[in-house]
Structure 1
């Protein structure tokens, strides 16, 4: 059982890094609680997830998967290849997209459609101004 937890913690840390987040309990605590609609988790809980001491419940696992752009079953169990071997999950974000850019994109996606349109117009104007 301990190996299963350790493997989960590795996949979680790798998913965080690919999404542009530093795999630290404080970072995970802040990002997770900003998206989770249930009772907030403690930093100790996120530390246990990252240190291979615990595996989150399914509702929390779903939020983690959504946050870091991986399928919940891949985050929880790994990705099976032919022959039954475990493969790495593919990166959800291109290399070079950091935590700040990810936060900006997440904030943009949370906007209502009319606000998104305004942001799009602003970005277009900024691009034109820099030509």
Structure 2
């Protein structure tokens, strides 16, 4: 019979896969702090991932925010659907942080970043078209 910690571990791992993230304790420790979590060791995160422990509520909320799911879903595993980040789409935490940093930039710098993204998108599309033409 699965323990509460085992079930949580399964939900956490599934949410990480769905977000396109690795199960690296070092990465999770670093990201957890950026999403409002309390400092923890890599060993603590490893315990969460391996069904030996569960995070405290503050870190449960930070993990849920990072993974764009409701804290209750992560902790208890209900049937509710994953909420969409920003209400529109699901994104991995690294992209979410980049977008949040972008939104804090002054208007002139946001315009420059948008121009760069447009140019990179054009180059990517051109490269894909060239590969199809071979």
Task: Give 3-state SS (helix, strand or coil) of 2:3's partner.
Answer: helix
Contact 1:108 1:116 survives alignment (8 Å): no
TM-score when normalising by structure 2:
0.70
Q: How does 1:33-44 map to 2 (within 5 A)?
A: 33-36=33-36, 38=38, 40-44=39-43
TM-score when normalising by structure 1:
0.71
Q: How does 1:100-119 map to 2 (within 5 A)?
A: 102-111=93-102, 112-113=104-105, 114=107, 115-119=109-113
Change in 2 beyond 3 A, CA 1:15/1:91: farther
Instruction: Give the number of the structure whose alpha-carbon radius of gyration is greater.
Output: 2
What is the count of residue pairs matched by the alignment?
118
Higher helix share: 2
Contact 1:21 1:27 survives alignment (8 Å): no
Following the alignment from structure 1 to structure 2, what is the Cα–Cα distance between the partners of residues 16 and 92? 15
What is the match of residue 68 of structure 1?
67
1:125 pairs with 2:119: yes
Greater RCO (Cα-Cα under 8 Å, separation 6 or more): 1
Gaps of 5+ in 2: 127-134
Q: How does 1:46-65 map to 2 (within 5 A)?
A: 46-65=45-64
Please, what is the CA RMSD of the aligned residues?
2.9
